[in-house]
Amino acid sequence: MMESAIDSESPASKSVKPAYRIRVCGLGGAGGNVVQTLHSAQLEGFETVVVNTDAKALEMIEGAESVWLGRKITRGFGTGGVLASGERIAAQERTTFDGLVEGVDCLISITGMGGGTGTAFADALASAAVRADILHLAFVFHPFSFEGAERASIAEEASGRLRGKVHGLVIIPNDLILQAGGEQVSAMEAFDEANRWIVRALRALGLMIFKPGLMRQDLASLAATLSERGGRVLFGLGEGRGDDPVKAALKSLEQCPFLDLDNDRALDQLLIQVTGGPSMGMAAVQRLIASLRERLTCRESIRFGASIDADAADAIQVCLLGKMEIGNAKPVPVLDSRDTAMLFPGGKGDDDAQVSVVAHATKLQKRKAAKKPSAAIEQEEFDFISDNSVQRGLFEKSERNFYGDEDLDVPTFMRKGVRIRIL
């Protein structure tokens, strides 16, 4: 699927378009909003489609194909955030999801996790991409803290499952977007800023894939970097202007809300794409790449790309895409941006236990962690559940609320057997 390319016998011309197809699929309300923002930005080269159960939301979409699912179940009113409804619709529409990836070389999906439609459809679309054996890069939004623990729990578990099905999973915690905007930012501005981050990412990928460059990278480079399904992805964007655009771009990259450059784990693959105006010199490119190589460790392959964008003027933009833990396709639970550093699902020495990690630790969280004294002795752990009994207090005699084989009256951290260290 990834072997298609421009016919080598074709004459060089600006009218020649790549033979491969890249489809951007917005799922649910959040995904649809991003695709609409993408259309307003007038990015070229991407096919766009929005899939939703909410008929009214689809009516607002312009410039993208609309796919309305679940009309018999929801009658066009959406799932109301009920995951079971979204999963029921996704199961019935398997052929539709297969059709969305048919003939596509690269799939980029965008969704908001924690609700009913986007969460269920993201998994269904990823399964279709696995069956079609195509490259899949997924962007997912995690809910704000004020949206409640239930939505956060759904988002965490769904992202953990999704990670093992896609080549790259980029998580954007809405809390971090809010922090970057400051306390005075409005709700509308916060959501718009989150959408713009995705558009910036797609613009950077589009410039790399569709535009000729000084140091050429293309879709094959993206596929080689992401390599295989599973593992973890490092993704970030930065832009600099002024007297020292390279320094400004590096500082902007460090402030990217979903990039953690403080991670000391080595990358397996790394792709660096630098874009600038017609006046951008190779010395600036070399300086920027050298600075990133000093900051990041890569065990295997590092790919560099540099392209010219006439609209960039005197700005320099950098897009960073790295892959780590390749070969570890086992889904890893993902925690949201709230302070969850004290959660440990397995004890020391349990090699088979899945270890939950914070997907994107904020600088504030890291400062708090640095102030905590290091433990001199092995810490005790408190196990919330030592047997199968759970006290339900005043609700002991009421009927239990089962979903599958799980008792929903029992908090998620107790059902999953989470243990907390006592400091």
Domain boundaries, the chain: 22-210, 213-324, 336-422
Q: Spell out the alpha helix ranges (H) of 299-379.
A: 363-371
- Residue 222 neighbours by CB distance under 10 Å: 24
Instruction: Yes or no: say if 159 and 322 are a contact pair by the CB < 8 Å rule.
Output: no
Q: What percent of the chain has pLDDT over 90?
A: 31
Strand order in the sheet with 380-383: 343-344, 419-422, 380-383
81's tokens? 């955030």
DSSP 5: -
68's tokens? 């309305």
Instruction: Yes or no: say if 101 and 134 are a contact pair by the CB < 8 Å rule.
Output: yes
135 versus 208: the higher-pLDDT residue is 135
User: What is the spatial distance between Cα 152 and Cα 160, in angstroms, rounded to a whole number?
Assistant: 12
Please tell me the least confidently modeled range out of 249-253, 271-275, 342-346, 417-421.
342-346
* 213-324 shares the fold of 22-210: yes
Q: Which residues of 196-211 are buried (b: 16+ CB within 10 A; e: fewer)?
A: ebbbbbbbbbebbbbe
**What residue type is 377 in one-letter code?**
I
Question: Backbone phi, then psi, for 145, in 5-degree steps?
Answer: -60, -35
User: What is the spatial distance between Cα 12 and Cα 137, in angstroms, rounded to a whole number?
Assistant: 30
The CATH-assigned architecture of domain 213-324 is 3-Layer(aba) Sandwich (3.40)
* Residue 397's pLDDT band (cuts 50, 70, 90): low
- Bridge partners (DSSP) of residue 318 are 238, 274
| pLDDT of 275 higher than 60 | yes
Residue 282 Cα distances to 163, 237, 275, angstroms:
37, 20, 11
Convert the pLDDT of each residue in 68-125 to its tens digit. Answer: 999 989 888 889 889 999 999 999 999 999 999 999 999 999 999 999 999 999 999 9
pLDDT at 301: 81
Name the pTM for this structure: 0.72
| pLDDT of 207 higher than 50 | yes
pLDDT at 264: 65
pLDDT at 78: 87
Homologous superfamily of domain range 22-210: Tubulin/FtsZ, GTPase domain (3.40.50.1440)
Q: What value, to the nearest 5°, has the Cα angle with vertex 311 and ends 16 and 318?
A: 90
pLDDT at 141: 92
Q: Find the length of the chain.
A: 423
- Bridge partners (DSSP) of residue 382 are 420
Question: Given the structure tokens 């409005």, which residue do they identify?
Answer: 186
